Structure formats: structure tokens, C-alpha cells
Amino acid sequence: MGDGPDITSDAPLVLLSGGGGGARLAAGLSQALDERPLFVVTNTGDDFEHCGLTICPDTDSVLYAVSETIDSQRGWGRAEESWSVFEELKNVGGPDWFQLGDKDLALHLSRAAMLAAGQNLAGVAAALGERLGVPPHVAVVPATESPVRTHVVSEHGKMAFQEYFVAHRCTPVLRNVVYEGIGSASPADRLSDALEVVGAAGTDVVLGPSNPFLSLAPILGIPGMQGLLRRAARRVVAVSPIIGGRALKGPAGKIMSELGLEVSSAGWTRWMNEQYPGLVDVWVWDETDQAAAGNLRSESMDVRTTSTVMSDPGRARAFGDWLLGVCSSDY
Ligand code: GDP
Ligand code: CA
């Protein structure tokens, strides 16, 4: 960037995230950024209605991760959770396929009350974030206010995402993934307002190591979202969720192979680049995969490697620091 005023210090960093690898990175970047604003744009395709409540699994995982209230062993839900209500729910014959801890349930009830009082999802996430202790420089913003509902299509027909993920434990072989409602969705105002103000002045966008089909696609497929990010971004950096030919957790690798893709960081890069032409500037792979980077580099793709495994908060923070270096480095 050379000399001159540092235009980047207050420009936000925008992270697109699901509830797993993305949420870990949100926590790491939150620490690494110190006071520079971080917008974590969360996937809403997993949102669903259960026991009369609106549940937003990825938004809540990010809220819990960034406020350090997440159960880090399990990787979802609240630390020091209790299960009294869920036990009694089962006793009285209520649905038991989706686990609800007491603290987690309190958050869903609070969201229900705020939604009933006329707040939108972004307002609810901001209020909950403040109560949980999300640092003031971090905004957790659901990608859109319009209902987008991910469904998977398998040999057994179409089913809602939670049914596939929780009730069927991802066993059906997928043919396709669809995002109902996405055609009439638009990016959250909170995000477009923030990005249109700063324009091209130093915003960086990171696509977290999130499931490309189940977490990133329902965000990037929102009409206007890619254009908004591309116009605002100095650089778009994407982190691979595939390490050493498999996903660290969850069905990303299984789905890639069922859709006929090579399960590798290279396969992920080629698919992303085909799906979102011109969106990503820098591809970040785990160092495990560095031998394969040469092929893509020879096709002029900017592939960088480092340790991307965020097995504890210290590693997530170190990876966040490294990513900030990539964002601010000159070409
Ligand atoms: P979900 O909403 O729970 O599916 O979570 P995400 O979509 O955000 O993340 C799922 C993906 O994160 C999986 O494909 C994992 O391979 C990946 N992942 C989880 N932890 C890590 C990590 O520490 N490093 C990297 N690079 N990927 C990770
Ligand atoms: Ca999810």
C-alpha cells in the first residue's frame, strides 16, 4: 500500500461463516483484529422452526464462539450446559431429535420474544451478542432477513437440512442441494449499509473454512451479495475446509465426492472458482496440501499455505493474525 494515511485501520473485515470452522475463525479474527470492526455474516440456510421457536444454528454458534461461551469440546452449544428441560421434554413426549440445552433454550426463547415484538434477525443477533459478551468491535449479522431454507435432494427425495443433518446424520447420498426462497432474498441492510459507506477503502473479505454447499452457497447465492462484497473488497480470501483430502468435521468431503468432485483443496478451489468466477483473489490451504499448490499456481492462481487447523483458541488467533497479514500485504 506504500506511504500515506492508513486507510485500512477502520475499514471492516467481513467474514462469511457457517457454525463450525467459520465460527472458530470468527473467534480467532475477533482477537487478532483488536478494535478494527469485524462483520461476521452468518448462514441462515440452516435456520428452522422447532417447538414454535425460530432456531438459527450458525448465527448462534458464532455468537457463542465469539463470546467464548461455546462448548469447545463439543463444538456447538453452550459451555457448562444443563439439560433439565430437554429431559422433561422427552418425558412428556416432545420431540427429541434435536437436542436443546437449558442455556441454549433460554436464548431461543429470548429470540422468540424479540421477534414477536417486531425486531428483525439482525436486531436480535445484536442484542443477544451484547448480552453474551461479544466484543464491541464485532457484529454478528445474519446474511439476510428473508427466509432461506436449505434442502437436500437425495435418492429418497427432498428433505429439509436439519432432517438430513441431525435426524439422518448425513447418510443419504446427495444429488443436489437447493436453497428455497433465495431468489427473492437480499443481503442484510446492516451489511449493505456498512459496505456501501466504506466503498473500496480497504475492506477485506474472508470466506471462512465453511461447508461450501451448506454454509457458503446460501450466503453467496443471495442476489446482490457477490456484487456487494466484490465492490467493497480490496481482497477476497477463501480458506479451504478440506485438509489432506478430507473435511476436518462434517459432510463437506462426503458431499463433494457424491457430487463427483475431487475431495481435495485443489478440487475445492476449482469448484469455488467455477461457481463464483472472479470472486476470490487468494486461496488459503493447509500446509499439509502444499505439494499440490504448484499446479494451480502455474495457472496463475494465488494459493498460499499455512497451518489452518484451529484446534484451540491460540491456534485460531494465530491463524487470524496470519490472515490479516495476507489481507494487508502488497501483491
Ligand atoms: P457447520 O455450519 O457446522 O457445517 O460449519 P461450517 O460450515 O462453518 O464449517 C464446517 C467445515 O469447517 C467443515 O468442512 C470442516 O472441515 C471445516 N473446519 C472445521 N474446523 C476447521 C479448522 O480448524 N480449520 C479448517 N481449515 N477447517 C475447519
Ligand atoms: Ca450449519
Q: Judge whether 114 lies within some domain.
A: no
pLDDT tens string 208-240: 999 999 999 999 999 999 999 999 999 999 999
Which residue CA neighbors atom 21 of ligand 1 most closely?
21
Domain span at residue 50?
13-72+120-328
Task: Say if 18 falls within a structural domain.
Answer: yes
Domain annotation covers residue 28: yes
Band (pLDDT 50/70/90 cuts) for residue 167 is confident
**Nearest CA residue ID for atom 18, ligand 1:** 21
Residue 218 CB–ligand 1 contact under 6 Å: no
Question: Which CATH number belongs to the domain containing residue 320 in this structure?
Answer: 3.40.50.10680
Calculate how far, in angstroms, residue 215's C-alpha sits from the geometric centre of ligand 1. Answer: 10
Is residue 2 in some structural domain?
Answer: no
Phi, psi of 234 (to 5 degrees): -70, -40
6 Cα: distance to centroid of ligand 2 (angstroms):
36
Nearest Cα to 325, choosing from 214, 209, 235, 212? 235
**Is 84 within the bounds of a domain?**
no
Q: Tell me if 8 is assigned to some domain.
A: no
C-alpha cell at 169: 446424520
Decide: 45 in ligand 1 pocket, CB within 6 A. no
Q: For residue 193, give the 3-state DSSP assignment.
A: helix
Minimal CA–CA distance to 255: which of 166, 154, 141?
154
CB atoms inside a 10 Å sphere around CB 31: 19
Domain count, the chain: 1
Q: Are 215 and 43 in contact (CB under 8 A)?
A: yes
- 22 within some domain: yes
Q: For 13-60, what is each residue's pLDDT tens digit? A: 999 999 999 999 999 999 999 989 999 999 999 999 999 999 999 999
Is residue 150 situated within a structural domain?
yes
Amino acid of residue 291: A
Q: Which residue from 2, 11, 4 is spatially nearest to 204, judged by alpha carbons?
A: 11
Ligand minimally distant from the alpha carbon of residue 57: 2
At 331, the pLDDT band (50, 70, 90 cuts) reads low
